[in-house]
Structure formats: structure tokens, C-alpha cells
Structure 1
Amino acid sequence: MPIMGAGRTAPVAAVIVGAGVAGRLVLEEIRNRPGLNYVVRGFVDDNEALHGTVVNGIPVLGGSKDLPRIKDEQAVVEAIIAMPSVRGQSVRKIVDLCRQAGLTTQIIPGAIDVLSGRATVSAARPVGVEDLLRRETLVLANDVEVHYSGKIVLVTGAAGTIGSELCRALAGLNLRRLVLFDTDENGVFDSDLELRSRVADMPKAPEVVPVVGSILNEAKVEWLFATYRPDIVFHAAARKHVPMMENHPEEAVETNVLGTRIVAEKSLAHKVETFVHISTDKAVEPSSVMGATKRLSEVVVRDLARRSSETKFVIVRFGNVIGSRSSVFDVFRRQLARGGPITLTHPGMTRYFMTANEAAVLLLHAVVIGASGNILSLDMGEPIRIADLAKDLITLSGYRDEDIEIRFVGPRPGEKLHERLHADDETLVPTRHPRILRVDGVVDPPVSPGAIERLAQEARIMDRARIRHALRDLLPTYRPGFAGNEIL
């Protein structure tokens, strides 16, 4: 990540948008680090009570609507947006005003990153599409935080986007031990280093234990549970890439179904308090192999919930995570770096998005809120048109719409035009948390252990046609296909 101002030889005149805590931190760091080469002319803040006042020795020059005037009067060339808690709509408004004024923009990270010290304010970066999707910052309820005190927590898929963010959130709680489990040895190593640094100054730092291994290695998973005796398990390990799993369905079956069954059964056998299975909105009336295997994994977990009187099994569904590897954002940026075109499936395609931090905080609440067998759905706001994201990225990168081609290339196997949060015969019911809903009316198809074994056998011999046929037999709601009213 570039450090703001790094490499400049002449000072740059700037304004800081936001005169709150984050803005004052930015000013302090600029003062303490002359090498950043910034001259701050003043603050810009929409709180009219501050206009004409002086904050930390710097004048508040006006509100965001005054940026064109301020730019001319103060001869500034850059605006540093230091409003980490503001919603994406407000960020968009400020960025548009800066663009109209001819100002370049930088933005500091989110509130939790800055105030926890996870990212220094010098790590400002250009405004990204994800900044335009911001929602309010979520905090952990006191009783939820207390629930984790002294607990041993295991996270599978700990090196992935969601798994690593969960570990960061968990590391700040008063855990006894945090166990990271993943096949990605480099990712586990990096997460371990980061977390150890994070907890070093905590008075009661949890023990961080990195473990490399596969959820498909039943002997290793048995050793993992017997050795570390987790109280809570977050099962984030999964195959998630829709087109790749269409081409390699055996991988989706093995990881998403068989791997989940192994971890869930070990949780039951070792009397884990709570097992949280991280699912996806693509499990709702699935059109892809990935979605179908995630739906089948839900059936497996809910069957164990019906048989368990000690372990609580909770399933949590949500949509796309901003910043995950090979996400639409990453793909678009790589295409833009090559000069385009940016390729899309369909001009009307929409998706639900949330940040990894939002998902992590809500998952921590799900442990307390969910009853055994519940399927919970996270509130992700309104669906976003993918074509709009592409246009935003083009504009934020300094191009005009006509500079970069947006090319519609047609459907990919397994894709839907729009994702759904629940099926027609299901309902979303509020819980005690406004961003967590319970899915009622879910009907699980009967799936016998023998049927799962037959599916496993097809995966082992890589008979892909029979894998798809078996998934259709097991899941009546699985409708693989392409273009249509709902499915592309």
C-alpha cells in the first residue's frame, strides 16, 4: 500500500476533509513526518458550527460544498478524506465534489483500522469502489464479548478473507486460545505473525496456535480437536469460486460437503459448545455446483443439529465479500491496469456486498444469537449493479467513460442474474440484532449417509457428469443452467 506523499520532492498543498478524531490524527502525523511533503491549508467539515473556527491550529475553511471555492482561494491540489465512519453515499458525494473542483483524493482506512492502530493514518490510498459501499461501523455487544472470555476458538480456513478477518476480531477478545487451521502454510504463517504482534501488548493475550492441514484429513482433524479442545468452531474453509467449481465439481464436493461433515462430526464427538458453519447466499435455490454443495453442507450440518443435545450448530449465509481474492473488484482492477476492456456478464446483473469486517462482527454475534439448527442471513443492504461498480472504478481511476470499454461477454456456467436471500416458501424473521435475520421455513431434502457416500465415490473417481446428476437427485432446488428469467 503506498504511503501518502511518499516520493514527492515538493510540498503538496492539501485540505483534510473531516475535522474529527481521524482528521486530527492525519494532521498530527503530517506534522510529525515532514518527509510526507504535505502542507495542510485547513480542514473541511460539514458541521457548520466548526466553520471559521481553528482546530489544532488549523482553520476550518468550510463544508464539502465549498471545496471549489477553497481550492481556488487556498491553491490546494489534494483532499485527504479522513471520515472513516461515514457511509458510502457521503464518500461518493465528497469524491464527486473533489472531482468537480479538480482535486485529487486520498482516503484513510476504516474507523476500526485507524482507531485500533491496525493501519497508520499515513497509509492513505486512492479512493476505491469499496469506499463508496461503506455502511455504519459495527461494534460488538458487551454480552457477546463476554461470551468469548476464556474460550478456546478454532477457525478453519483461517488464511482466507473471512477466516483471517474473524481471527483479527477474535484476537481482540479475552480468549484463552485461538487456533488457526488452513492448508495455506504461507497464509497461516502471515496471519500468525500479524496476530502475535496485535496481541503482544494485551494484558491477557490469547495463545495463538497456527496449524497447517486439510479438513479432508480426518486423522489430522481428530488430532486437532483432541489436542486443542475448542469450545467454539468457525468453519470458514470452503471452495467458493463459482466458474472454477463448475469445471472441477469434485473439489467442491470434497471440500464443501465431505470436509464440512468431518469438521462438524468432530465438533459433535468432542462436545464443542458451538459450531458455526459459514455458508453463502448462493445456496438459495442454487444454480451452480458451488452453491449446490454449500446447500448440501447446510443439510449435513442441520442433520447433526437434530441429533445433538450438547453442541449447538448454527449456519450463517451472506453474499460477496469486498476485497476477497479474485473478487469482481480485483478482476476489474487488473483489467483496467491493462487498459481494458472490463468484461461483464450482463448489464443488469446485481450482487450483494459487505466488508469482511462487517461479516466478522456479525458472525461473532451469531454464536450468541443463533439456536441449534438455525440458518441466519446477514443483512447486506440493497443489491448493487455490477455495471455501476465498473463505471465507478473507471471514474475513480481518473478515466472518462469513453476511455475504457465495458464489454458484455455473456453468461458463465452457474451464474445467476440476481442472488436471492431466501426461497419463495421461506421467510426472514428479525432477531435481537438488526443486521441478523433468521431464515424460517427451510425444508431440507432427505439425504442419507449412503447418498453422501455415493456422491463421495463419484468425486473420488472424478466422474463429473455423475457428480452433477447426483447433486440434482439430492437437491430438488438445484437448477443448473444459463440465461433465463433468473439464471444466467
Structure 2
Amino acid sequence: MFQPILFLLNTKRQNKRIISLIYDICAIVFSLYLAIALRTDTLVFQIGKSDIACLVVTTSVTIFCFIRLGMYRAVLRYMILPAIGHIFFAIILSAVTIALSGFFFQTFVPRSVPFIYAGLAILTIGVPRVLIKTLYYHYYKRQKPNVFIYGAGATGRDLAYALIQGDEYHPVVFLDDDSKKVGQILTGVRIHHSSEFDKLRTLYQPIKLLLAITNINKGERLRLVEHLSSLPIEVQSVPSVEDIAAGKASATDLRDLDISDLLGRAPIEPNIELLTKNIDGKSVLVTGAGGSIGSELCRQIIILHPCTLVLFELNEFNLYTIHQELISIKNHFKIDTDIIAMLGSVEKEKLLTRLMETNKIETVYHAAAYKHVPIVENNIIEGIQNNVFGTLACANAAITSGVSNFTLISTDKAVRPTNVMGASKRMAELVLQALADKETDTTLTMVRFGNVLGSSGSVVPLFKEQIRKGGPVTVTHPDITRYFMLISEAAQLVIQAGAMGKNGQVFVLDMGEAVKIIDLAKRMINLMGLMSHIEGSNDEGDIEIKFTGLRSGEKLYEELLIGNNVLGSSHPKVMTACEDKLSWDEMEKTLTLLKKYCRDFNEEEIKNVLLSLPIGYTNNASLQ
């Protein structure tokens, strides 16, 4: 039964149009003949020249209307009510044409014939199209896997309609918490209460649960995700209302749940006044612009309308990628900002000075750093040169060029560091504090925060890849915890903290509660529709969680403060750390030693210098 229809649907588009055109001409002729036959109660009647002229005019007008209304541009399998409406409209015009042409050509056309013809033409032209769509839908419905949609609102309706028209999934059930909606039919799909999930899952065997709720606050969404993570099914979500409205995504762009949903808390809302203070109408430079934090800073900065945004990056591909993305954002939102892409190393002070002076830079965000703990541990000299001396060169260039505000992006690993990366970032903080004590006109501030979800070093993309490969998911230690923040909110808070800064201040972002990495892994496994089990346990599960042991220099627990001496600020999520620092004379002697040992490739002496400083560095203390 389906084979002729499938053959028709799979032929070339041009052939489909010709077949449809020929069929419509035949249907019009047959409908007119049958209308006259029914009216005259005879199958055989004489046809004169005027009758043929009337038939030709009627057929031509009808086909012309079909062409103008786009009937032959439409794809049969996607025919919907507007197309059926076009058929009605064209056939009504066709019936009127019969009456007028009969009068004009002096043809015998009984007054009831146009009405009979219209009814027959709708049946012969419209019904086959509806039939083809219906048969196609029921045939391909069997080929598509079933899915549930959670949320029977406007977003869920749009998603269900798009999925029904598409070839990927077949929506069989709406789930909703609103009892008033239960029992209603939406786009042909019945709405059930969410409490019926287990019964419905057994009946329909869905492969996914699609979350189609975009109009709830963050707190409600977090509670909902917490509930969904306990269900034995993979969960995906539609994009946010903002992304759909801005044209960045469509309702069918299904994706894994937002990283913010995995965080377990609502993102921090920004203070717009602080965001714009050092950026709006100013010239801004971002070092490490192609990195995870640097690129997100650039995305946040450009929508705040700086007059100039300079991207400084060592990696050519990363620089090209973020430059093209920012140009796209600029064109989309019609932003009048000059975007300048510059290649170079942050260790080249003269290059940076010329760059800042040429572009009259007023604000610098120094995000360039080597920050992967194991890599820096194996490349100590490069880590020190880039993180310590690169920061010194950038800060000196900013001071020489008269930059108003310089903000260093630091890390929680700078607090009582157990690895060279953390020690080098604490050294970078001390360098800026020592320079600030020299009473420069440039405000030098530092912003310290924890792990960023979605960054290149985040565990989230690693866990996703491991889960998709069937495991195991690797966690270094069952008790390891980390502070987490969204990359977007981290960038926003960096900008806001820099706007509040007084010279030499260290800002610490409120990261909320620390998250156990094993809990994060379990939640991700559950949300992908699988069950987890710990290595060596007798529990049944799909994905094994395996412990690999702490890496060199890795802590069980990260800290954001060295001591308890902390002050608040004008932003509820930004604190000021009051910690020991070095004078410029002491710092200068330390930098001279470090430079000598870097030049001599003497890694042991570099570590000894770091151990001698009041930064709390413990060489390779892997367990804390």
C-alpha cells in the first residue's frame, strides 16, 4: 500500500511537480465532467467548441491560482491546513470562472454545476494530498523512536509539532505537573500527569525525555532537574526563550541539560552599572583572548559597547576563532566596536606597550596563563615565565601606557598552593600588589575564583565523552571536592570586581557550596539515562565510576582564602581578601633569582625559591 506513495515521495522534486500538475488537470476535467453528468443525469452528452473553451479557461485559471499560491512548491508530506485552505480558495475561484466563462462563451452551464463542481474538485484535489500526508506520517511514525515531552505549554506544543513533521523522534506523551491540563490533546498527543511516568514508560518505551519548559525561574528549574535526574531515562532540553527569540536556536535544537543545571544552584545575577563602568565607550584589551576565560570575557565585553576591543593571543587558531565569532556577534547586534586581533606573547613588554599606546587602551583584563596543573608541573620554566613574568610585563606595559584599570584573573589554586601552577599564580598576585604599593596611576586588581564549568579544563566535557563511550568515568578520589562556577558568570564577576577595585586589592568570588566530583559524575550519568556503579562494588549499573588517585600537586579540597581576614564589597557575591604581601624591593630580588634560574633551566632552584616565599607553597603535597 505504501510503495507507490513512497516511490512518489522519493522521486526528484521536478518530477513531483510535473506529476502533481498533470494530476490536477485531470482532476479538474473529471470534476467538471462529473458535475455536469450528475446535474443532467447522463454520462453521455454533446461537447461543442464553446464547452471546450469554457473547460480550457477554467483549467487554466485554476492551475494559475495553484501556481501563484505555491501549491507546487509545497512538499506533499508536509502539507498542512494553510495548503488545504489554498486549495479551497483556488477551487472557489475556479467555480466562479465556470459560471463567468459559461456566460461569456454562451455555454449551457446549469446554475448548480459550479457548486457541484467545487465540492467534487475539493474531494479529488484535496483529499489525495491529505491522504498522502496521513499515510506518510503513520508509515514513518513506526520508523521513529518514541520520546516523552515534559511541559505542555507553548514550547512543548511547538516542539511536538516540529518533531511530528521531522524524521528523528516521535512524541507519544506530554508530561506536566498541572492537573488542569491532564487529559487534553495537544497536536494529537495526550497530556498525562508527571506522576504517571513509570506506567507510561513501560507502555511506550521512550528513548528520551525532552524538557520543554523555558519560562520558569532558576530555582524551580533546579528542583525540576533534581527530580528528572532520578528518572531512568536520558534527559535533553530545548534552548532558552532568549536563544530562540534571538534566532540563535530553534525549538528542535535539542541539547544536553545546561551546565548550570548540573551546578546545583542558580547563577549569579550581574550588576549592570558595574559591568559597564570600565567598558562602555572605552578601549579594552584582553590577553589570552582565545582561551576559555578570555574568550568568554570578550563575548561579555563586546555587548557592553566598548569603542575598541583588542584581542591579544599567542595561539593563531584560537585568535582567529574568537575574532570571527565576535565579528558575527557585532554584525548580528549591530554593535559599533572596532575589533582588533593581535598575535603575540605576554612576555613581550615592548610589544604590549606599543599596542596599548597605539589603541589608547583604558582597561586591561589579563587572562593569559598556563593553568593546567599537570602540564605546568612538567613544564615549570615555561609556567613561571608565562604566569609570573608575563603578568609583570603586562602590568608594566599598562603602567607605562597610562592604562586606568588592570585586572588579573587568578585562581583558587593560588591559595596554599601544592603545585607550581598555583604557586605561579600566587606569585603573579604578589607582583601586582608590590607594583600597586609604588603608587602608580593604574589601578591593579586581582580576581580569584574556582573551577569554571565549560572551560577547556573542566571535568564536564571529559565526563560527557567518557559516558558516551560507555565508561568508565574517571574521578581522582571519592572525597575530592571543588568550587564551581559558570564560565559566563565568572566573566561577569571579573568585570564587576575590576570596576570596584582599589589599587592592590584581591577579590574573591563567592562560589557557593563546594561540590563533590563524584556527585557531579553520578548526576551526569543519570541525566543521560544511565545508571552508575562504583568500581569494585556489587551494584548494578551501566557506567562504572573509577578512581584513579590524586595527581601530582592536586588537593582534595580547594580554598579561596588564605586566612579568615575577609571583607565584603558593594557586590554581594564579591569579597575582598586581606593577605600578606611583599614589598617591591623584596619582590624585585625574588624576580631576579627566578629569572636567573629560568635562564639556567634549574627547576629545583625555582621550586626552592617558591618554597622560601610566604605563599604557603608545599612541594608536591598531593594529599591535604
Task: Answer yes or no: same fold by TM over 0.5.
Answer: yes
Structure number with higher relative contact order (C-alpha < 8 Å, ≥ 6 residues apart) = 1
Query: How many positions carry a matched residue from both structures?
Result: 471
| Alpha-carbon offset, residue 245 of structure 1 | 1.3
2:334 is equivalent to residue 236 of structure 1: no
| Alpha-carbon offset, residue 35 of structure 1 | 3.0
What corresponds to 1:468 in structure 2? 607
Say if 1:129 and 1:396, in contact at 8 Å, map to a contact too: no
SS at match of 1:478: coil
State the distance in 2 between where 1:334 and 1:157 align: 26
What corresponds to 1:432 in structure 2? 570
What corresponds to 2:518 in structure 1? 387
Q: Residues 95-106 of structure 1: matches in 2 within 5 Å? A: 95-96=228-229, 98-99=231-232, 103-106=233-236
| Alpha-carbon offset, residue 417 of structure 1 | 1.1
2:273 is equivalent to residue 143 of structure 1: yes
| Alpha-carbon offset, residue 23 of structure 1 | 5.2
| Residues 131-176 of structure 1 deviation map (CA, whole Å, 9 limit, x = unaligned) | 3215324444332344222111111111111111111111211211
| Alpha-carbon offset, residue 67 of structure 1 | 3.5
What corresponds to 1:4 in structure 2? none
2:265 is equivalent to residue 126 of structure 1: no
- Pick the aligned partner of 1:270 from 379, 401, 409: 401
Say if 1:8 and 1:37, in contact at 8 Å, map to a contact too: no
What corresponds to 2:99 in structure 1? none
State the distance in 2 between where 1:337 and 1:73 align: 26
TM-score by length of 1: 0.85
SS at match of 1:175: coil
What corresponds to 1:369 in structure 2? 500
The residue type equivalent to 1:90 in the other structure is R
State the distance in 2 between where 1:339 and 1:146 align: 45
| Alpha-carbon offset, residue 123 of structure 1 | 3.0
What corresponds to 1:328 in structure 2? 459
State the distance in 2 between where 1:378 and 1:53 align: 48
362-371 vs 266-275, which deviates more?
362-371
| Alpha-carbon offset, residue 69 of structure 1 | 5.4
CA change 1:120–1:289 in 2 (3 A) is farther
- Pick the aligned partner of 1:287 from 410, 418, 427: 418
Say if 1:315 and 1:374, in contact at 8 Å, map to a contact too: yes
CA change 1:98–1:228 in 2 (3 A) is same
State the distance in 1 between where 2:476 and 2:561 align: 23
CA change 1:153–1:270 in 2 (3 A) is same
The residue type equivalent to 1:182 in the other structure is E
The residue type equivalent to 1:192 in the other structure is H
2:454 is equivalent to residue 297 of structure 1: no
| Alpha-carbon offset, residue 202 of structure 1 | 2.9
2:582 is equivalent to residue 445 of structure 1: yes
| Alpha-carbon offset, residue 119 of structure 1 | 4.4
Say if 2:147 and 2:171, in contact at 8 Å, map to a contact too: yes
CA change 1:156–1:129 in 2 (3 A) is closer
2:150 is equivalent to residue 17 of structure 1: yes
| Residues 430-475 of structure 1 deviation map (CA, whole Å, 9 limit, x = unaligned) | 3222221222x31113433132022022122221101101111223
Say if 1:111 and 1:137, in contact at 8 Å, map to a contact too: no
| Alpha-carbon offset, residue 50 of structure 1 | 6.4
2:327 is equivalent to residue 190 of structure 1: no
CA change 1:26–1:279 in 2 (3 A) is farther
State the distance in 2 between where 1:111 and 1:317 align: 32
SS at match of 2:619: coil
SS at match of 1:357: helix
What corresponds to 2:553 in structure 1? 414
Q: Which has the larger radius of gyration?
A: 2
What corresponds to 1:80 in structure 2? 210
State the distance in 1 between where 2:452 and 2:550 align: 21
| Alpha-carbon offset, residue 211 of structure 1 | 1.2
SS at match of 1:285: coil
SS at match of 1:412: coil
The residue type equivalent to 1:437 in the other structure is M
SS at match of 1:201: helix
CA change 1:251–1:91 in 2 (3 A) is farther
What corresponds to 1:93 in structure 2? 226
Say if 1:129 and 1:389, in contact at 8 Å, map to a contact too: no
State the distance in 2 between where 1:143 and 1:333 align: 37
| Alpha-carbon offset, residue 256 of structure 1 | 0.7
CA change 1:337–1:25 in 2 (3 A) is closer
Say if 2:418 and 2:554, in contact at 8 Å, map to a contact too: yes
- Pick the aligned partner of 1:176 from 273, 283, 307: 307
State the distance in 2 between where 1:60 and 1:134 align: 32
CA change 1:19–1:454 in 2 (3 A) is farther
Q: How well do the aligned residues superpose, as a CA RMSD in angstroms?
A: 3.2
SS at match of 1:301: helix
- Pick the aligned partner of 2:292 from 161, 165, 181: 161
SS at match of 2:229: helix
Say if 2:448 and 2:508, in contact at 8 Å, map to a contact too: yes
Unaligned ranges ≥5, structure 1: 1-6
Say if 1:81 and 1:107, in contact at 8 Å, map to a contact too: yes
CA change 1:194–1:378 in 2 (3 A) is same
State the distance in 1 between where 2:142 and 2:304 align: 44
State the distance in 2 between where 1:55 and 1:210 align: 54
State the distance in 1 between where 2:497 and 2:554 align: 28
| Residues 18-63 of structure 1 deviation map (CA, whole Å, 9 limit, x = unaligned) | 46776577467x27x93354455675454x4864598997889366
More helix by share: 2
Say if 2:412 and 2:450, in contact at 8 Å, map to a contact too: yes
| Alpha-carbon offset, residue 222 of structure 1 | 2.0
Say if 1:274 and 1:312, in contact at 8 Å, map to a contact too: yes
State the distance in 1 between where 2:597 and 2:431 align: 18
CA change 1:16–1:408 in 2 (3 A) is closer
CA change 1:392–1:138 in 2 (3 A) is closer
State the distance in 2 between where 1:259 and 1:55 align: 63
CA change 1:204–1:336 in 2 (3 A) is closer
The residue type equivalent to 1:416 in the other structure is K
SS at match of 1:451: helix
SS at match of 1:377: strand
State the distance in 2 between where 1:129 and 1:359 align: 13
| Alpha-carbon offset, residue 423 of structure 1 | 1.8
State the distance in 1 between where 2:260 and 2:153 align: 22
Say if 2:485 and 2:511, in contact at 8 Å, map to a contact too: yes
The residue type equivalent to 1:443 in the other structure is D
CA change 1:293–1:23 in 2 (3 A) is farther
State the distance in 2 between where 1:55 and 1:324 align: 43
CA change 1:42–1:168 in 2 (3 A) is farther
Say if 1:106 and 1:126, in contact at 8 Å, map to a contact too: yes
State the distance in 2 between where 1:387 and 1:366 align: 31
SS at match of 1:477: coil
